[in-house]
Amino acid sequence: MKNLKHMRQLVALALTGFGLCLPVLASDKLRPNIVVLVADDWGFTDVGAFGGEIATPHLDDDLARRGMRFSNFHVAASCAPTRAMLLTGVDNHRNGIGNLRETMPQAHLGKPGYQGSLEKRAVTVATLLKDSGYRTYITGKWNVGNEPYNLPNQRGFDRSIVQGDTGSDNWEPNKRYLPHAATVNWYENGQVAVMPAEFYSSAYFVDKAIGYLDADAQSKQPFFAYLGFQANHVPVQAPQAFIDKYKGRYTQGWTALRQARRDKAVELGLIPKDTAMRNMSTTKDWAALSEKEKHHQAREMEVYAAMADAMDHHVGRFVAHLKKTGQYDNTVFVFLSDNGAEGSDYDEAQIWLKTQYTQDTEKLGGKGAYAIPGPGWASASVSPLYTYKFYAGEGGVRVPLIISGVAGMPQNQIHHSMAHVTDIVPTLLDLAGVAQPGRQYRGQLVEPLQGRSLVSVLQGTSSQVHPAEQPIGYELSGSQALFKGDLKLVKNIAPVGDGQWYLYDIKHDPGETKDLKTTMPEVYKVMQADYATYAKSNDILAMPDGYNPVRQVVINSFVNYWIPAYKTPVLASLLGITLAALAVFGLRRRRSAK
C-alpha cells in the first residue's frame, strides 16, 4: 500500500511539474465555445451600451443585454501590450512587450521585457485550450511579433490569417498606413499569406472566421475563436452606405458630444451621477474653427462612427452564423477594445501621408483616403474620462468590456469593481475547465498567470474581482499608474500630461478631477512605494528626455526602414537631417500653438 501511495504521489508531482492542463469538465459537450472580439482604438463610450450614439445593435443586444458590462475594466494604452496580456494573462513587461515596437526608443529595443515580441516562456491561452481539446482559430490583427516561433501556428492556433503589424489600410491589404516596413506582414497558418488586391478588413476577418468554422463543422470539439479587428485604427475607413447614416450628425462638435455621452453613461448606470469632467489641453475650441474646418472635422467623425457601425454589422454576421449552426447558445463572448481612442494628430507624418493618401473632405472613408479622429473627437470617444491612447489617464486605459453567454450568469448586469486585461485568460480557462499552468508547462519554466478569474463575479457570487489591498502596476512609454482598490496613482508624460504624480478615487471620480494626495498623504506614500516595487521587479526602463510616443513612431520609421532602404551614405545622411528637421519643426509648432 505504501508503494502504491508513493507511486500515486510521484505521478501527481510529475503532472504538476509538466504543467499539463487537464479538463475539469467531464465532456466537451458541457464545455462552451469561446469567442473573443477585439476592437481597435475604441473609447469608453463608443459602444451604444456604454453611452454612445453609434449604432452597435449586435454588441448591445446579442452580447451586453444577455451578459455583463464592466465599467471599470483596464488595459494598456496601446495595442501590442494589451494584446500580449490578453493572450497570455501576464504583465506586458514580463511577456516581452514592454512597449509597442513602433513607439519604443531605440535604446530599449532588445532589453529584457522589451523584445517587442512575446517571450517564449509566456504561454498563450490558445495553447492551453488547444492542449485541453479545443480547436483554435484567429483572424485579424496579431501585433505580438512576427518571428517564425511567434506566429499563431506556433502559439496554439490551428488555423490563422493575421496581420502582424500595428495596422494596415482597410481597403487595400498590402498598403502600409505608415512607413514601418517595406510591406504589410500578412501570415496564413504560419506562412506568408497571398492577400486579395482589395477587401474590407472587418468583412474579410469575419468571412475567414466563418470559413474556418465551416471547414471543421464535423468536429465535436468546442472551439476558441479570436477576431482581432482593425476598426477603428487609422486610417479610419468605411463603406459609403455606413457613412451616409451619420451625415450631419456631428455638426455640434466634440465638446457637445463629450457632454451628451457623459450624460447617457450616467443614465445607463455606468458612472456615478455626479461624475465631473475636465478638458484636455489638446482639444481645440469648436466654436473657434472656421466653417470649412467644422465641415471637415464633422466628416472625420461621420467616418469614424461608420467604421464602428460596420464592424458591429460584421460581428452580427458572425453571431447569425452561430445561431444558424446551433452554436450560439453554448458560446461565451468576450468583447473589448485594446486601448482608448486615438488622439494623435499625425502632424509629423503629414509629408508621408500627402504622398500616399488624400484627406479631401468628400473622399474621407473611401479607398485612398486617410481619416484621422484626432484629439478633439478622441476626447468625446473616451467621455467622461481624461487622456486617450498612449497615456495612463482613464481615457487611455479604461475601455468597454462585455462578457456574455456564461452558464448561470444574470443578464444585463453592470459590474463596477476594478478588473484588468490579465483577468481574461484565467476566466477563459476557468470556463473551459482547464487548470492554470503554474510556473512550468510541458517541462519548461513559464511565466505564471497574474490575473484573477471573473467567473464568480459573472455568476453573481462575488462583488469584487481584486482585493482592495492588492496593488496592480502599470507603465507604458513613461506614463505610469498603480491601482489599489478604488484608488489610482498616476503620472502622464507631455504633451497631454505634466509629468507629476496624482492620486484619484476612480470609482467615484472616473474623470480624475479631484487630486487626493494632499488629503491622503499616507496612502499616497504607500502607493508610491508600491509602484517603485512594481517597477523594480519588472525591470521597467526610464524614457529618454523629451520622449514623445507619436514622434518616436516617425523616428523609428526612418531608422528601421527608410535609412536601411538606401545604400549610399549620402542619402542616409540626408534622410537623417530631414528626420531631425521634422522633429524640430513639430516641436516648434506645438510650442507656438501653446
CATH number at residue 514: 3.30.1120.10
d(CA 228, CA 37): 6
Contact indicator for 332, 265 with CB cutoff of 8 Å:
no
Q: Same domain for 358 and 496? A: no
- Per-residue pLDDT at 6: 45
Q: Which of 430, 458, 486 is the last residue of a domain?
A: 458
Kindly report the pTM of this predicted structure. 0.91
Helices and strands (H and E) in the chain: how many = 17, 18
Domain count, the chain: 3
Cell numbers placing 129: 485550450
pLDDT surpassing 80 at residue 581: no
At 9-24, the pLDDT tens digits run 443 444 434 444 433 4
> Residues near 531 by Cβ (< 8 Å), separated by ≥ 6?
471, 473, 480, 481, 482, 489
d(CA 57, CA 45): 14
Q: Same domain for 559 and 511? A: no
DSSP one-letter code for 51? T
Percent of the chain with pLDDT over 70: 89
Q: Same domain for 501 and 560? A: no
At 300-323, the pLDDT tens digits run 999 999 999 999 999 999 999 999
Q: Which of 410, 432, 458 is the last residue of a domain?
A: 458
At 348-387, the pLDDT tens digits run 667 677 788 999 999 999 999 999 999 999 999 999 999 9
Confidence of residue 548 (pLDDT cuts 50, 70, 90): confident
Q: Same domain for 411 and 485? A: no
- Per-residue pLDDT at 590: 52
SS3 labels along 478-511: CEEEEEECCEEEEECCCCCCCCCEEEEECCCCCC
- Per-residue pLDDT at 582: 53
Q: Same domain for 409 and 507? A: no
Backbone angles phi, psi at 186, to 5 degrees: -110, 140
DSSP one-letter code for 542? P
Q: How many CB atoms lie within 10 A of CB 115?
A: 21
pLDDT surpassing 80 at residue 95: yes
Q: Same domain for 573 and 525? A: no
- Scored b (16 or more CB within 10 A) or e, 562-588 reads bbeeeeeeeebeebeeebeebbeebee
The whole domain housing 577 covers 549-593
Whether 60 is in a domain gets the answer yes
d(CA 359, CA 353): 9
CATH number at residue 204: 3.40.720.10
Confidence of residue 179 (pLDDT cuts 50, 70, 90): confident
Mean local confidence (pLDDT), 545-561:
80
Please give the C-alpha separations between residue 236 and each of 99, 181, 239, 369, 413, in angstroms, as whole numbers: 23, 20, 11, 9, 32
The vertex-13 CA angle with 12 and 18, nearest 5°, equals 100
Residue with cell 468597454: 400
Q: Same domain for 484 and 506? A: yes
At 266-302, the pLDDT tens digits run 999 999 999 999 999 999 999 999 999 999 999 999 9
Q: Same domain for 410 and 497? A: no
Whether 47 is in a domain gets the answer yes
d(CA 435, CA 561): 43
d(CA 386, CA 397): 10
d(CA 478, CA 353): 27
Confidence of residue 3 (pLDDT cuts 50, 70, 90): very low
SS3 412: coil
Mean local confidence (pLDDT), 191-201:
97
At 110-157, the pLDDT tens digits run 999 999 999 999 999 999 999 999 999 999 999 999 999 999 999 999
Whether 96 is in a domain gets the answer yes
Whether 566 is in a domain gets the answer yes
Q: Same domain for 496 and 452? A: no
pLDDT surpassing 90 at residue 5: no
Q: Same domain for 241 and 324? A: yes
SS3 389: coil
What letter represents residue 148's amino acid? P
Whether 27 is in a domain gets the answer no
Mean local confidence (pLDDT), 185-201:
97
Contact indicator for 11, 308 with CB cutoff of 8 Å:
no
Q: Which of 489, 516, 537 is the last residue of a domain?
A: 537
d(CA 20, CA 477): 36
Whether 83 is in a domain gets the answer yes
d(CA 357, CA 118): 33
Contact indicator for 383, 257 with CB cutoff of 8 Å:
yes
Q: Same domain for 384 and 301? A: yes
Cell numbers placing 206: 469575419
Whether 59 is in a domain gets the answer yes
d(CA 5, CA 323): 49
d(CA 177, CA 489): 35
**Of the candidates 318, 216, 224, which has an alpha carbon nearest to the alpha carbon of residue 31?**
224
Q: Look at strands 159-163 and 135-141 and give their pairing.
A: parallel
d(CA 339, CA 282): 19
Whether 138 is in a domain gets the answer yes
SS3 544: coil
Q: Same domain for 210 and 322? A: yes
Length of the chain: 594
At 584-594, the pLDDT tens digits run 545 555 555 54
> Residues near 155 by Cβ (< 8 Å), separated by ≥ 6?
87, 118, 124, 126, 127
- Per-residue pLDDT at 26: 36
